[in-house]
Structure 1
Amino acid sequence: MSGNAQDLYRAVWRWHFYAGLIVIPFLVSLAVTGGLYLFKDEIGQWWNADIVRVEAQASPAVSPEQQVTAALAAQPGEAFRYVPPASPAHAAEVDIASEAGKQAVHVDPYSGEVTGSLPYRGSLMWVVRYLHSLNYFGEAASLIIEIVAGWAILLVLTGIYLWWPRGRRGGVVSVRGKPGKRVFWRDLHAVTGILVGGFILFLAITGMPWSTVWGSKVNELANGHNFGYPDGVRVNVPMSEVRLAEHSDTSWSLKQAQLPTSTPPEAAPASSETGAEPIGLDRAVARFDALGLAPGYAVNLPGSAQGVYTGSIYPDDLGHQRVVHLDQYSGEALLDMNYADYGPLGRGLEWGINVHLGQQYGLANQLILALACAGIVLLCVSSGVMWWKRRPSGRLGVPPEPGDPGRLRGVLALLAIGGVIFPLVGASMLVMALVDSLVRRRGGRGTAVAGR
């Protein structure tokens, strides 16, 4: 390898090392929790089977309003959401806000008896989801995830450069040596990295829409400024200031969408056919069924005299994703939106999110991503072992700096392109560049290790 090529290699290797220091602990956590969350429905149904499952019967179900009444008798409070049974073997869900907090009460739709309750957004798989996103630790933690995703992209790109064969065969697609030997762990890391690198890139990029800074800005770009709805959705009904995301679970593309308002009887024109009383949950559910919402949809109840019934479904198949708002007095569909109404960028990002969650292509989607998550854990473990075996005793083991320090600046300049796209990542790169400068000034060569 020529001097210039060696300098470039060392510069890339040094930044790859720094990226690993930042990313690897989080990658392990993200891979484990993400791998579990791929099977959220299966695990949740098994873990809470005595609560969420019922015996299918030929007898007709009791009405939704009776189910809500039974749930409120068991858990006094205010019902704000009703989820009809997704299948004949599922219980209905009534979400209730009380002084003790929010509870998801499950009701046998045939007998009207309560089968049990779970904390609303506090089930086992919601715990896994919050751990995955670090939501347990506040907004600052979500900023960390955004930075980690950007550094993960950097880790993969620099890793591909280091893996590039350059005439070699060993450690490219095969693993040399025996377990315990340094070359074995080096090759295992390289081969695993090239196999899962594409998945890391995909998961990092498709995870970015949930991020606090970048995700929110792209959301504004993708979904236009027409009351927060995607471009192309005509909104010609009275709107409230309440966001859909504050009212119910929603898709990424509709987080900024505002709720329409119902027209109370006293505010309706004399010629209006608006009813004098709210239609009630039974008629709202019947209306959603007639409109053809896919099984498993949820109904958010009106929270005021101007509120609406919102039926929403975000199934595995994006084609069936749909949100419908009903006037609570007339039952009229004020807005009816589906995946096709999103703009091109919104549709693309929604597809990426659905694949990221393991939903779009069924079991194959889940299994492939689960294997990728296992490979990511192996990649991280092998990097840790390789580093431990290579580093000088008592030292961090930063890779040697290039003979020409300008190479480091050149690599940083290339990486800065990504930093412009992802501002938080760019800011963290500047901090890391400062740290690297301090390391080199304090004798970085003394902490360096032999070549790979």
Structure 2
Amino acid sequence: MVSIDSSITAGAKTPAATNRAQKLYFAIWRWHFYAALYAVPFFVMLALSGMTMLWFTAIAPEYGDRIAVTPAGQALRLTELEASALAAHPGGTIDKYIAPYDAETPALLRVQTEAGAQMLALDPYTAAVLRDRPEAGTWNKWATSLHGQLLTGVDGGIGDYLVETAASLGVLLVVTGFWLAWPRNGEGFAAMFLPKVSASGRAFWKSLHRAAGSWIGLVLAFFLISGLAWAGIWGGKFVQAWSQFPAEKWGAPLSDKTHAAHNAAGAKEVPWALELTPLPLSGSQVGQQLLPMGTPVVFDTVLEGARALGFVGRVQIKAPQEDSGVWTISQDSMSYDSDHPTADRTVHLDRYSGKVLADVRFADYSLPGKAMAVGIALHEGQIGVFNIVVNFAFCLSVIFLCLGGLVMWWLRRPAKAGRLGAPPLPADLPMTGGVVFTLLLLSLAVPVLGLTLLAVLALDLLVLKTVPALKRVLS
């Protein structure tokens, strides 16, 4: 929850405000306030960009994935679609094929040209080009880069770290928000979830904010944690790095490239559990024969091999990127091939022999990998219409929660006082064992949050005490 309010007004001097419970209330409210001060702009950005991404992936894909096609007998062979795509871009090379979702949607081909990668949607019955546009520069890629990198285009860069800090503080907001919203002074639990419609002014906004936050707080925690699993520090250096598939079990020589090399610029298309896993190399004697000996290993035959392996519907085939590279057959929710993350499957073929070098399924993922496969699908609205509707509603709720907090601050702020109006820091702050344990647990679980808390405490206890003018502005 993103609250910037309390039932206790700043400056109130009553006996109750001096007791242990009241001091702890003010302290937690103060942490909540400062966390929200940083996180609110990011939360609004994340919600708006999230809705944009959801629209351009699940509802209106920009490459033409869902263009309506009229079935006309037998679909053409893939070689005929390749010829049509290359006729549109002479001198280009095709390095990815995406099969249609069903008989009434187009096939997609990616053509590498001197000007960059082009994505073409083709009628599978006539080979007519229905859409032809650059792979880069889509609204979805723009929103994705904003969502995770603040448009810096660098994983693990400053934009990534700023967003990770906001998400980490969001975890603190959820925990402190539930603490502040918890029923007290004889209230029932209904007070947490039902706004006081009879109230007015700040009291009404506070009850509305409290109820909205209580309803979506756990959902917000889920979105924050699933998003943090991709962040540069918590995800890349801890959770994701410890949860990769052990590629050594394949028995094939391994490349110095990882599966993340298959992600298009500004997009996450490879399953989380495989991103940091090395790719196998072609040219060895290992593997299980899939294509008959002597069969050319090309898009057409690899597609036939994929169907023989049991891939149905939309399946993606990527050509080798270098002489020792492999053909990759994949079907997963990360690439919007399927709305069943538990059906994820990635297969690698030797480019020379057509042998299966690796066959990774959902069951092969580690426990965190399985959790993330399902969690990311829910996070991105990939599991059906209900998931899309819920995610849109959640994003709108987050925006409302943030704006509601700002309204409460505006109504409570000391007008024309030239200061922020933060909750006061109590003297002789009571730090109970439960509070200390919770802060330590959160700091260990989310390292960036721990570092941020130390920075805020240093600001509060060292800087503000020695710089009166700054203390006045931020108080």
TM-score range, shorter chain: 0.7 to 0.9
Give the one of 419, 431, 438 matched to 2:455: 431
Q: CA deviation at 1:58?
A: 3.1
Residue number among 369, 379, 387 corresponding to 2:401 in the alignment: 379
Matched positions, count: 434
**1:130-179 CA distance string (max 9 Å, x none):** 22223522321111221111100100111111111112369533333668
The worse-fitting range, judged by mean Cα deviation, of 134-143 and 196-205 is 134-143
Match of 1:279 among 277, 292, 297: 297
Q: Paired residue for 1:422, among 427, 443, 446? A: 446
Which residue is equivalent to 2:328?
310
In the other structure, the counterpart of 1:191 is: 211
Going from structure 1 to structure 2, the CA distance change for 1:356 and 1:54 (only over 3 Å counts) comes to: closer
Q: 1:84 aligns with which of 91, 99, 108?
A: 99
What is the percent sequence identity of the aligned residues?
A: 31
TM-score (norm 2): 0.83
Matching residue within 125, 148, 172 for 1:110? 125
Say whether 1:235 aligns with 2:255.
no
Q: What letter is aligned with 2:89?
A: Q
Give ranges in structure 2 of 5+ residues lacking alignment: 1-15, 264-268, 333-337
| d(CA) in 2 for partners of 1:299, 1:283 | 11
Q: 1:86, 1:319 → 2: CA distance? A: 18
1:230 alignment partner in structure 2: none
Q: Which residue does 1:323 correspond to in 2? A: 346
What's the CA shift for 1:53?
A: 1.7
Q: Encode CA deviations 1:297-339: one digit per residue, 9 max, x unaligned.
A: 1100123333221111112202221101122333222211110
Extract unaligned runs of 5+ from structure 1.
228-233
Residue number among 209, 212, 215 corresponding to 2:232 in the alignment? 212
Map of 1:122 onto structure 2:
137
Structure 2 SS opposite 1:130: helix
- By how many angstroms is 1:355 displaced? 1.7
Contact 2:101–2:314 at 8 Å: present in 1 too?
A: yes
Tell me, yes or no, if the aligned pair for 1:44 and 1:125 is still in contact at 8 Å: no
Q: In structure 1, the residue corresponding to 2:96 is in which secondary structure?
A: strand
- Following the alignment from structure 1 to structure 2, what is the Cα–Cα distance between the partners of residues 200 and 440? 35
Q: How far has the Cα of 1:398 moved from its partner?
A: 0.8
| More deviation, 206-215/397-406 | 397-406
Contact 2:69 2:106 (8 Å CA) reproduced: no
After superposition, the Cα gap between the structure-2 partners of 1:334 and 1:143, relative to the gap in structure 1 and judged at 3 Å, is: same
The corresponding residue for 1:64 is 78
Query: What amino acid is aligned across from residue 29 of structure 2 in structure 1?
Result: W
Q: Deviations over 1:377-417 (max 9, x none)?
A: 11111100000110102320110111314549995774243
2:36 pairs with 1:15: no
Q: How much does 1:244 deviate? A: 1.8
Which residue of structure 1 aligns with residue 366 of structure 2?
A: 343
Which SS does the other structure have where 1:263 is aligned?
A: coil
Report the CA distance shift for 1:179/1:78 in structure 2 as closer, same or farther (over 3 A): farther
Alignment check: 8 A CA contact 1:24 1:380 kept: yes
Other-structure match for 1:231 = none
Q: 1:300 to 1:48 in 2, by over 3 A?
A: closer
Q: 1:247 to 1:177 in 2, by over 3 A?
A: closer
